Amino acid sequence: MSALGRMLGRVLGRPGAVSFRRFAALAAASRALAESQRALGDDALRAAAQALGESHSRAGTPPVTAEYLALAREAAARTVHLTAFDEQLVAAAALMAGHAVEMDTGEGKTLSGALAAAGLALAGRQVHVLSVNDYLAARDAEWMRPLFEGLGLSVATVGQASTTGQRREAYRADVVYLPVTELGFDLLRDRFVERPADAVHPVLDAVIVDEADAVMIDEATVPLVLAGDSPQAARNMERATALVAGLREGEHFEVDEERANVTLTDRGLDTLEARLGGLNLYGAEGVPLLTELNLALHARVLVQRDVDYLVDERGAIRLIDAGRGRVARLQRWPDGLHAAVEAKEGLPVTSAGVVLDTVTVHDLLGGYQTLAGMSGTVVAVAEDLLEFYQLPAGRVERRVPNRRVDAPERILLSAAEKQREVVAEVRRLHAEGRPVLVGTQSVAESDALAGALQATGLAPVVLNARNDADEAAIIGAAGAFGALTISTQMSGRGTDIRLGGPDAADHDRVAALGGLAVVSTGRYPSGRLDAQLRGRAGRQGDPGSSASFVSLDDELVRTTAPAHLLARIERAGSALPAAERSEIIADCQAVAEGMRLDRHRSTWAYNRAVVKQRQAVLAVREQVLAREPAGRREQLERAIELFELDDEWQAHLALLGEVRDGIHLRALAGLVPVDEFHRIALEEFDGFFERVAERTESLVAGLTDDDLDGGLAGLGLIRPSATWTYMMSDNPLGSPGDRAVRALGQRWRRALNLE
């Protein structure tokens, strides 16, 4: 959006057009105080900051003042040797005031976030700065540590390797940097402790979310899961995989136009039943096996290695985050699909375990008293942030003008033609000595393009899910003279590309050549991701350029364009006008963005009842946990009540999961599925606490002195001997409801065509 567009947006009150003019005035006023702050010694500066924070703590407001901004600028200059620009102070003030802030790549979000976190902490708030991964959380915490300590504040970090004790200690700090997933997992684990001392106690007070659009929008509906071991073994997917191995497309099964659903034909069913000795797959004994056969067929036909997942060096399935092209750590697919893919690859089949509890990123963030966020592409999702979080958004303009030159998008017919054009463009740019960053859509595409470039004598460095542990080093060197880097999606990475290499030694030489050249090999499902890739060039006023190559048989088109449009492309071929090609690509991206928004709205709507029920259960659980038992009998009674609460909640979640899988069928009866789900959820929750009380009272009434020695296990109440956490990734084929709706729609379209 242009500056004029943002001005008109503010006049019209559009989302994303919040004016930060008042914060700019404060930043300007802080310059008049710079000399007096510079005259203070370190102790006096710290004392002044503490006094200012205490005065605002009593008033219950963050120190969004010129005085604090002046103190913060001076403290940053002394401790981390960074002098904040006015634009960074404006961003810090807006964050403290509870806004989502857009700042371009390289404009200093890390320092702005730290200054805002320090201001909130000085006012007595417990502050979390949430990141997308361990590396960025630890890096930023250590980088900004001198700033916080210089202001008399403590800072800590939490990561996957943190022990329970380390987590408990970290959450006592004034400011904690951590990945959003680790926060969610800690809250889930705390919900199942049997003693108050075992909890780590993260307090959801004030939060600043880095890469806010990625966390709050793209990952908002991802469930974080706490699972426990289950006596039930993993499904016997090996047998099902072997049974479907010889089936042929068009004869034994059919794949829909979107290649998102596969259906057994009558001949396929007959073939399978014959292999099973005449077993009726639709009979009572055959239905469980039919489910496994369908999953095995989906895994074999539709889920692609090096696109949807990869197999790591240890022989484990690693899901690929479609939005970033990186490994989606600690994630599994639902619906048994994960086990089916493991069997397909000949790997040991693992169980997801029994789900003890879940929480979405959306509901996790909704628990904070004060919410703020920052990213390079916030304005594009401003409406979503208002709708789901009531979070207003605005933009802080660049400190210096953008010198990047964006070439018109080139839209080719085929992927092969596109690759030839990309290779030619990369060779041309590389011959000039310019650093080139090529953004690809998948691991498979990055590998294929690297091979094509190597065949011409070039030696690109490839960054994708296979080697993302080396990301910081690879991206840090991507701006060097003659560097050639191929990478999957670049959003949320937090590492700047500096012209001339990590130390910018060759900055002027590279800048004179035109700076970093970004080449995109297609449109992402979100325009924000395209903008983030382009934004890697032209950092802080540097020169740069971007070029984008798209084909009409890219995944985006094949999965979102309707059949008649695909037929039109096929018929017209090279005669298809450029304007129509551009319109097709834009429409397909809009459809993909709309689907993402619909998923967010749907998940939010279905979760409302469950969230309220979970809050009610947790309130009761905390009351039980807070009771101080006076003897062994009281200890066992409390343990029994906690067990029954947890067991009833697990059963309730499992039931609602089954209801959700089939609720879409209510639409066939003219009912609204989400309303029906809420009705059923309320009905099933009715009597929840009475059932817990009855079972607890029954067991307590029969307790003997011998039972006190045996504990819960002696009563046959077995908690999981091990628990683990993971993220339930979106099924790449959609939910059962999605697949059913697609199948019905395809039958309807076929029926219309026949008529």
pLDDT band at 325 (very low <50, low <70, confident <90, very high): low
For residue 467, give the amino acid letter: N
Kindly state the greatest CA–CA separation across the chain.
91
* Strand duo 484-487 + 436-439: pairing: parallel
Distance CA 674, CA 640 (A): 35
Residue 165 pLDDT more than 50? Answer: yes
pLDDT band at 727 (very low <50, low <70, confident <90, very high): low
Distance CA 37, CA 33 (A): 6
Residue 13 pLDDT more than 70? Answer: no
DSSP symbol at 669: G
| pLDDT score at 113 | 98
Q: What is the pLDDT of residues 464-479, one digit of tens each?
A: 756 655 777 888 889 9
| pLDDT score at 732 | 57
Q: What is the pLDDT of residues 96-137, one digit of tens each?
A: 999 999 999 889 999 999 999 999 999 999 999 999 888 889
Nearest to 182 by CA among 199, 161, 213, 159: 159
Starting from the edge strand earliest in sequence, which strands make up the sheet with 155-157, in order? 155-157, 175-179, 127-131, 206-210, 370-375, 100-102, 393-395
Tell me, letter by letter, the H, E, C secondary structure of 353-382. CEEEEEEEHHHHHCCCCEEEEEECCCHHHH
Phi, then psi, of 183 in degrees rounded to 5 = -60, -45
For residue 396, give the amino acid letter: V
Q: Which residues contact 625 (CB under 8 A, 6 or more apart)?
A: 193, 194, 195, 196, 638, 642
pLDDT band at 745 (very low <50, low <70, confident <90, very high): very low
Q: Please say whether the dihedral angle defined by the alpha carbons of residues 567, 573, 575 and 580, taken in this order, is positive or negative.
A: positive
Segment 707-712 shows an average pLDDT of 88
**347 CB-contact burial (10 Å; exposed 0-12 / middle 13-18 / buried 19+):** middle
| pLDDT score at 496 | 78
pLDDT band at 749 (very low <50, low <70, confident <90, very high): very low
Q: What is the pLDDT of residues 263-294, one digit of tens each?
A: 899 999 999 999 999 999 888 788 778 888 98
Query: How does the average pLDDT of the chain come out, rounded?
Result: 88
Q: Give the Cβ contact number of residue 2 at 10 Å.
A: 7
For the packed helices 673-685 and 578-626, what is the interaxial angle rounded to 10 degrees?
Answer: 10
| pLDDT score at 352 | 66
